[in-house]
Structure 1
Amino acid sequence: MKLRQKLAMVLAAAMVVTAVPVTTMAKSTNEMNKVVSIVEGTILDAAKGVALDMKFDANQTTQDTTTTFFLKTEDFEFDKDAYTTANQTTGVYVDATTGLKVEILSKTEAKVTVPVKVAGNKVSIPVYGKVLKGNPAIVVDGEDSLATSGKYSLATGEVVTDKTLTVKAGTVKNISIDGEGQIADIIIEEKVAGGLQNDAIITVSLPNSSDLNFKEVSTLEVEELRGLAGQDIKVVDAKLDDDAKTLELKVSGITSSVSRGGIKIKGIQVEAENAKYDVKTGEVKVTVKAEKMDETKLVVANVTDFGVKLNIKEEVEVVAGKDGKTVQVTLEENAIASLNQRQDIYFDIEGATITSKDIKIVEGKEGVVTAELDAKKENVIGLVLDTAKIDPAKANKIVFEFEVEGKVADAGDITLTASSRSFEEDIQIKLGTVKEAVKVEAAPMTVKVGLTDQKGGKVVITETEAEMLPRGKEIVVEVAKGSKSGITVTDAKVEAEDIQIKNVKVKDGKIFFTIDRTSDELGKITISDITVDTDRTVPEGKFDLTVGGDAISKHTDDVITVEDFFVVGTPNTEDNTTNGLKKGTGIFKVGERKYTVNGEVKEMDAAPYVAKSNRVMVPVKYVSDVFGVNGKDVLFSKENGGTITIFAGNRVLQVVNGSNIALVNGVKVPMDEKVTIIDGRTYVPVGEMARLLNVEVEWSNETKTATFTNR
């Protein structure tokens, strides 16, 4: 074998080997049994109960299998004495139930022996020792054993230090530019139980550059948190420095607890450094210090000019015609006395309606916001905030709730506008959106006065999402109630896609049907071949159609209006034509299936096209239909590959697939392009079609449309 062939075989074998996926055998599943709060120096002992739980895969072990591996530590020291069990060597721990054996080799290493076939194949290795500064963790070295190697943190993710306390600010307060006000609560929390010592000193300092000073206070409220709850903790001394920029607080009454706790100091007051000048607007920051706590800067207030804020808790989306949703609005003064107590606030809503006269007050005095009703005291047209019910001594916050719903004509944003004579300009917020449940598209219907059984028009109802039209609910389609009488619907064709309907009927001029089964995707209902009678009292003009019923809206008078659906033309004084065809105009466009007959848009199952000879070809059936040639006047036979006979007024036309010779009343008429049948539809050139029917035609090269007219 040649050297080149041998190398090729070796490379091929190597490719096969590397293509085989590597299967990793399951070993043990390891995790710490709990997470406890720790700082530098924390002792983990039996009382803390921290352990590394290990579960071995039963499928990879056999009866009486024993495995040995090692534990190492990072930023943690084993306590050898703590692992000594009764009648054992110092530093050796044995679990009598599972047979687990832990031997402490040094402060940072232990040897572990496990009989794997124990109950549930699970053991818990206790973790006893001292936490050091850093990222304390237990590391499993499972090489050549049934244990999975890995690193398991003893902390909650942050670097362990000797700091036993943390501090944060409560809700940030707004202070007016006169400087008078209260800063946010100061919250001190323990990282470990016992971190906050009795008679602790806490200092709160303003920057020297601040326009504010602390006010001298006689008492401050202290709220005990969690593990310190129920203790009688107080600020027993509050001292200001000479510049009133630093407040020193002594906190007493603290006793040790078994779980972490904290305190919340409330009521720290500030004032302007110089009462003659306004305080600069912006954030107010303080620095908080205490033993065993990092020095921390906090934002505790905002200095703001007079005014109000308007907010919404969460924007909502409501479906038109369906159930409403509750919105929660908050109006808040930026500073004390921002609102004039003699100037009420009026709220107007656009894009939706408020459903109830009852307005729920979440925060604020009962009745501070009420509904404004229409003249008949039936419907809510807006809301009013009674400023006489606000507290003039504080920056008020008023939270209120109400329900909004969308009518079927609504679609888009819902907005709330607040106005008052005391406002420089109105305040507007978005409450949410109204989403349509269905979309309605329509092709208008042209009718004449004094005729029966006039057929045409189309209405398509399409869901915006599945199941928008509920089962068992009804849809009603009718001439709009406000329209002139004299147009009566007598029949219609109703078809459904991806939704099932039943009980289709036309009664008293209305089309009724019921949703029998909801949709899986987007249900679509098509109403076509709408048949109407018109009497001679109907004036010329355009009249609306409505789509309603409880499937569309929960309110009976809430309907979708299809404007200008019925187009009433001149009275029926149609003259006879010399060619025996109906008067009319039809417009056909290359490449489009929609065509227009006397202004009414229709759709065909074919489309005009341009032949290789650059002749525009149109479908015979639909052009003939424009001038009153219906289905029974068009005959097809398979003779000669397809022969079409058309009875068009006082003419009998005959064309043959693939031939450029037509017969008109038996006389051969040559055409400049052959007849073509595509997908069952017969096409002839535009000009030849007009000549065969004896009608006029105009071709627009710009719009690619052919307009056939019979006058």
Structure 2
Amino acid sequence: MKLRQKLAMVLAAAMVVTAVPVTTMAKSTNEMNKVVSIVEGTILDATKGVALDMQFDANQTTQDTTTTFFLKTEDFEFDKDAYTTANQTTGVYVDATTGLKVEILSKTEAKVTVPVKVAGNKVSIPVYGKVLKGNPAIVVDGEDSLATSGKYALTGSEVVTDKALVATAGSAKNISVDGEGQIADITVEEKTAGALKNGSVITVSLPNSSDLDFKLGSDIKVEGLRGLAGQDVKVKAQYRDNDKKVLELTVEGITSSASRGGIKIKGIEVQAENPRYEVKTGEVKVAVKADKMEDAKLVVANVADFGVKLNVEEEVEVVAGKDGKTVKVTLEENAIASLNKRQDVYFELEGANIVKDTLKVTEGAEGILTQETEKDEVTGLTLDTAKLSDTKANKVVFEFEVEGKASQTGDVVLVASSRNFEKDIELKVGTVKEAVKVEAEAMTVKVGLKGQKGGKVVITETEAEMLPRGKEIVVEVAKDKANGIHVVDAKVEAKDVQIKNVKVKDGKITFTIDRTSNEAGTITITDIKVDTDRTVPEGSFDLTIGGSAISKHADDVITAEDFLVVGTPNTEDNTSNGLKKGTGIFKVGERKYTVNGEVKEMDAAPYVAKSNRVMVPVKYVSDVFGVNGKDVLFSKENGGTITIFAGSRVLQVVNGSNIALVNGVKVPMDEKVTIIDGRTYVPVGEMARLLNVEVEWSNETKTATFTNR
């Protein structure tokens, strides 16, 4: 083997050996019995009770063993006098119970002797002395002894100052330009236990340039913290040398505690230096001082002009017709009394809806905000300003759920109004995103005509899966205007989304989403067939697109405005009498009749009366000439009165009477009107005369042929 290879193997082996952790048997277990709060100059004595505890390993000791080791210090000085025990030389401490002996050799070194009388003996070495700046610690030098060497810190952090107190401020309070108000809470905390004492004086000072003075007479409250928690601590407040910009607070009621504590001072009030002038706007700072306190300049208030702020925690995006989302809003006064307690604040939501019973006030007086409803919908919110505080700038935080209706899209804006506001406050809280877009091509129809075909409606998803599986879409003429217009057929096609159960019934086009889309789907409705009767007025009619696939609410729809345009009455196929041209053939005893060659069926049949007159049903003869069921009205008046709107004529006949009214003029008939099984009959000839059409009777075939040319 080459020399180079041998050396490489030796080095590798050495590396393996040094990489193995070496375990040594611990001779004693050492730890400080406590970690104390200290600053530079803190004296550790018997009252502090700090000690280094040492537990010796039972396997390392025998009945007669005595061991000696040394203690050294870092950033700490032993107090030789404190280690003096009765009948001992100065600087020598002996524990009669354990036989422990501590001899102070210098400010930074001590000799410790432990006679181990019992296997596993435990001793506590007291730590007396003065803390220096830095990282104070006790170092055990256990070489050639049964003690384990190590360094043990006296505190959890570096000692950098001799200041035993520190002051901080809570959230800055808002004060109006009239200067009246309270400053933030001031907290004074001990860095070492006992730093706050009865008689401690805390000075709070405003700058000489400030427009504010302190105001005595208010109830300043004190809350004990940590080691002083639960104590009845108070402060006595007074001006220093009658200077209203300097407040002296003398602490009272403290009971000594071994743990660090602190106090929170609440309710210090200020006022304008000169009440005739407004205070300058901006931050208010104070200087807080006390014996052994770190210098503190704190922002305790903001002077602001009267006014209110309206903010939203986070804007939301909701999908039209789908589930809503919660918004969190904050209304906050810039200064005390910005809101007038006699003038409520009203909120309205534009561009979306507030979901009923979702209002929740998370900060503010109980019952301060209520919802207003009409027909089970939230119309707005009312803030009861009488419930506001007089002593602070109010803040009300509330949340509610926002949802968009199927037809809504765009920004959602919360509008706050009050007689106290110069103008309404508008806050955008979110947006409504369309689930689908609807495009429509209008169709024109005529009055009194069946089977009119046209129009086009395209429903397009804004993104995939907007139309949920198993939900239905319903398309119909707007319900409040549908009288006299009937959708009877349509062609429905889908792309990138699957539909099923396409039906046209009761004037509605309905279908169900069978499978959701992977890409934005499109549903197209064409060849919409419409029937109209003569009661339909001229004008435009809306088409609505709704159903559970469009919105979670049954009455929520998207409207295609002016989809159906009703023009002038259908006169192209009418004659001068205003009736539709055509021919109808009726045969005695048969329920089938013919209209322009098309065979139809009726629920009544012509018959021959006792007077040998042939009687025909009014409804079906009228139907031949474009008079549909909506143009024939029945009332129970006079035993049964029938009114017929027949082209240019209004006809009226009465059951059992041979007098008819034609446009209000009485016309005698040669046979009385008869109602049988709910159908009204008049003689063949009289029916033709009333409608102003021609009639031919064939005695051979027993048929009556009515014609309007």
TM-score by length of 1: 0.53
Superposed CA offset, 1:174-218 (max 9, x none): 223232222111122345655545543321110010111112347
Match of 1:129 among 135, 153, 157: 153
Q: State the SS of the aligned residue for 1:245.
A: strand
Change (3 A) 1:237 1:372: closer
Q: State the SS of the aligned residue for 1:244.
A: strand
Q: State the SS of the aligned residue for 2:521.
A: strand
Distance (whole Å) between structure 2 residues aligned to residue 340 and residue 112 of structure 1: 76
Superposed CA offset, 1:397-448 (max 9, x none): 4445544322122223222222233322222223333333x13253637687
Structure 1 match to 2:523: 527
Structure 2 match to 1:241: 241
Distance (whole Å) between structure 2 residues aligned to residue 501 and residue 77 of structure 1: 89
Q: CA deviation at 1:272?
A: 1.9
Change (3 A) 1:341 1:277: same
Q: CA deviation at 1:296?
A: 1.6
Instruction: Report if aligned partners of 1:218, 1:238 keep a CA contact under 8 Å in 2.
Output: no
Instruction: Report if aligned partners of 2:445, 2:452 keep a CA contact under 8 Å in 1.
Output: no
Distance (whole Å) between structure 1 residues aligned to residue 529 and residue 229 of structure 2: 83
Match of 1:440 among 437, 441, 465: 437
Q: CA deviation at 1:257?
A: 4.9
The runs of 5 or more residues in structure 1 that have no matched partner are 1-24, 50-72, 94-105, 114-123, 132-153, 574-711
Instruction: Report if aligned partners of 1:348, 1:417 keep a CA contact under 8 Å in 2.
Output: yes
Change (3 A) 1:37 1:424: farther
Is 2:458 aligned against 1:459?
Answer: yes
Structure 1 match to 2:402: 404
Superposed CA offset, 1:50-72 (max 9, x none): xxxxxxxxxxxxxxxxxxxxxxx
Amino acid corresponding to residue 458 of structure 2 in structure 1: V
Distance (whole Å) between structure 2 residues aligned to residue 266 and residue 553 of structure 1: 53
Change (3 A) 1:85 1:547: farther
Structure 2 match to 1:708: none
Q: State the SS of the aligned residue for 1:524.
A: coil
Structure 1 match to 2:203: 203
Q: CA deviation at 1:85?
A: 9.3
Instruction: Report if aligned partners of 2:323, 2:403 keep a CA contact under 8 Å in 1.
Output: yes
Distance (whole Å) between structure 2 residues aligned to residue 333 and residue 213 of structure 1: 23
Instruction: Report if aligned partners of 1:321, 1:553 keep a CA contact under 8 Å in 2.
Output: yes
Structure 2 match to 1:345: 345
Distance (whole Å) between structure 2 residues aligned to residue 243 and residue 423 of structure 1: 39
Q: State the SS of the aligned residue for 1:203.
A: strand
The runs of 5 or more residues in structure 2 that have no matched partner are 1-17, 22-30, 54-72, 79-107, 123-135, 573-709
Superposed CA offset, 1:431-479 (max 9, x none): 333333x132536376877685968846243254x66544543333444
Instruction: Report if aligned partners of 2:165, 2:292 keep a CA contact under 8 Å in 1.
Output: yes
Superposed CA offset, 1:89-122 (max 9, x none): xxxx9xxxxxxxxxxxx98999999xxxxxxxxx
Change (3 A) 1:247 1:356: same
Structure 1 match to 2:589: none
Instruction: Report if aligned partners of 1:371, 1:383 keep a CA contact under 8 Å in 2.
Output: yes
Structure 2 match to 1:383: 381
Q: State the SS of the aligned residue for 2:244.
A: coil
Q: CA deviation at 1:171?
A: 2.9
Change (3 A) 1:371 1:246: same
Change (3 A) 1:510 1:39: farther
Distance (whole Å) between structure 1 residues aligned to residue 559 and residue 51 of structure 2: 75
Change (3 A) 1:540 1:493: farther
Distance (whole Å) between structure 1 residues aligned to residue 194 and residue 381 of structure 2: 53
Q: CA deviation at 1:504?
A: 5.0
Instruction: Report if aligned partners of 2:140, 2:149 keep a CA contact under 8 Å in 1.
Output: no
Change (3 A) 1:261 1:422: same
Change (3 A) 1:452 1:327: same
Q: State the SS of the aligned residue for 1:128.
A: strand
Distance (whole Å) between structure 2 residues aligned to residue 282 and residue 564 of structure 1: 58
Instruction: Report if aligned partners of 2:335, 2:393 keep a CA contact under 8 Å in 1.
Output: yes
Q: CA deviation at 1:82?
A: 12
Instruction: Report if aligned partners of 1:454, 1:531 keep a CA contact under 8 Å in 2.
Output: yes
Instruction: Report if aligned partners of 2:74, 2:137 keep a CA contact under 8 Å in 1.
Output: no
Superposed CA offset, 1:144-188 (max 9, x none): xxxxxxxxxx65xx9954444432222322223232222111122
Q: State the SS of the aligned residue for 2:242.
A: coil
Amino acid corresponding to residue 530 of structure 1 in structure 2: T
Distance (whole Å) between structure 1 residues aligned to residue 469 and residue 76 of structure 2: 66
Distance (whole Å) between structure 2 residues aligned to residue 518 and residue 165 of structure 1: 68
Q: State the SS of the aligned residue for 1:166.
A: strand
Distance (whole Å) between structure 2 residues aligned to residue 467 and residue 39 of structure 1: 65
Distance (whole Å) between structure 2 residues aligned to residue 77 and residue 459 of structure 1: 90
- Taking the TM superposition and a 5 Å limit, the aligned residue runs for 1:71-150 are 128-130=152-154
Structure 2 match to 1:225: 225
Q: CA deviation at 1:285?
A: 1.0
Greater Cα offset, 543-552 or 561-570: 561-570
Amino acid corresponding to residue 432 of structure 2 in structure 1: V
Instruction: Report if aligned partners of 1:348, 1:382 keep a CA contact under 8 Å in 2.
Output: yes
Q: CA deviation at 1:253?
A: 3.5
Q: State the SS of the aligned residue for 1:440.
A: strand
Instruction: Report if aligned partners of 1:463, 1:523 keep a CA contact under 8 Å in 2.
Output: no
Distance (whole Å) between structure 2 residues aligned to residue 260 and residue 516 of structure 1: 70
Change (3 A) 1:325 1:81: farther
Amino acid corresponding to residue 459 of structure 1 in structure 2: V
Structure 1 match to 2:416: 418
Structure 2 match to 1:654: none
- Taking the TM superposition and a 5 Å limit, the aligned residue runs for 1:160-559 are 160-191=160-191, 196-217=196-217, 220-236=220-236, 238-255=238-255, 257=257, 260-356=260-356, 360-374=360-374, 378-390=376-388, 395-436=393-434, 438-442=435-439, 444=441, 457=456, 459-464=458-463, 468-481=466-479, 485-497=485-497, 503-515=501-513, 524-528=520-524, 530-535=526-531, 544-559=542-557
Amino acid corresponding to residue 524 of structure 2 in structure 1: S
Q: Over aligned residues, Cα RMSD in angstroms? A: 5.1
Instruction: Report if aligned partners of 2:440, 2:560 keep a CA contact under 8 Å in 1.
Output: no
Q: CA deviation at 1:516?
A: 5.4
* Percentage identity across paired residues of the two chains: 58
Higher Rg of the two aligned structures:
2
Change (3 A) 1:222 1:107: closer
Distance (whole Å) between structure 2 residues aligned to residue 559 and residue 47 of structure 1: 80
Superposed CA offset, 1:359-411 (max 9, x none): 5555555544444445xx64432233344554556654444554432212222
Q: State the SS of the aligned residue for 2:295.
A: strand
Distance (whole Å) between structure 2 residues aligned to residue 227 and residue 243 of structure 1: 34
Distance (whole Å) between structure 1 residues aligned to residue 519 and residue 334 of structure 2: 50
Distance (whole Å) between structure 1 residues aligned to residue 461 and residue 171 of structure 2: 49
Superposed CA offset, 1:265-295 (max 9, x none): 0111112222333222222111112344321
Change (3 A) 1:368 1:45: closer
Distance (whole Å) between structure 2 residues aligned to residue 560 and residue 370 of structure 1: 30
Instruction: Report if aligned partners of 1:447, 1:454 keep a CA contact under 8 Å in 2.
Output: no
Greater Cα offset, 206-215 or 503-512: 503-512
Q: CA deviation at 1:298?
A: 1.4
Instruction: Report if aligned partners of 2:138, 2:151 keep a CA contact under 8 Å in 1.
Output: no
Superposed CA offset, 1:645-690 (max 9, x none): xxxxxxxxxxxxxxxxxxxxxxxxxxxxxxxxxxxxxxxxxxxxxx
Change (3 A) 1:477 1:109: farther
TM-score by length of 2: 0.54
Instruction: Report if aligned partners of 2:358, 2:401 keep a CA contact under 8 Å in 1.
Output: no
